[in-house]
Amino acid sequence: MATIKTTYQGNLRTEAEHLQSGGTIITDAPTDNHGKGEAFSPTDLFAASYASCALTIIGIATQTHSFTIDGTVVETTKVMGDNPRRIVELIVHFKFPHNHYSDKEKRIIEGAIKGCPVGNSLSPELKITRTLSFG
């Protein structure tokens, strides 16, 4: 269980503190929603949370099976919708650092992505478009 304390700083900015570690994150409203866009928006954090979660779960699986994904990059694009304003799609591209993964290792990676708790907490209405590239 984790507790995060979030404080409104004014001018559409918040600061969230992870109480266990003391780490902080600043958010700003995006420029298309009355903000300055000087930091991650809350919906940007949502997209980043999905990518970070997926990478973490893949990392756990690869440690268990004695191979690595070090250097993997995930590019996530969020698509916003209206009425109500919400994220309607995440376009997620996993870029693995080489193409020397065996078929079994690729299956482990793909299975781990499906085990991401953030992804499993999302509404089925949210479209997630995933691509994986190796090398």
* Tens-digit pLDDT profile for residues 37-49: 999 999 999 999 9
Residues 67 and 13 in one domain: no
What is the residue range of 28's domain?
4-33
Residues 101 and 119 in one domain: yes
CATH code of the domain covering residue 68: 3.30.300.20
Residues 78 and 56 in one domain: yes
Residues 22 and 47 in one domain: no
- Give the closest residue to 39 by CA, choosing from 47, 49, 29: 29
> Is the sign of the CA dihedral 50, 51, 56, 61 positive or negative?
positive
Residues 52 and 8 in one domain: no
Three-state SS at 106: helix
Number of Cβ atoms within 10 Å of the Cβ of 119: 19
106 confidence band (pLDDT: 50, 70, 90)? very high
Residues 88 and 127 in one domain: yes
Residue 59 has pLDDT above 90, yes or no: yes
Residues 52 and 22 in one domain: no
Residues 17 and 75 in one domain: no
Residues 74 and 109 in one domain: yes
Residue found under tokens 């420029």: 31
Residues 95 and 130 in one domain: yes
Number of domains in the chain: 2
Per-residue pLDDT tens for 65-92?
A: 999 999 999 999 999 999 999 999 999 9
pLDDT of residue 135: 87
pLDDT of residue 6: 98
Residues 13 and 70 in one domain: no
pTM for the full predicted model: 0.93
Residues 113 and 77 in one domain: yes
- CA 92 – CA 126 distance, rounded (Å): 13
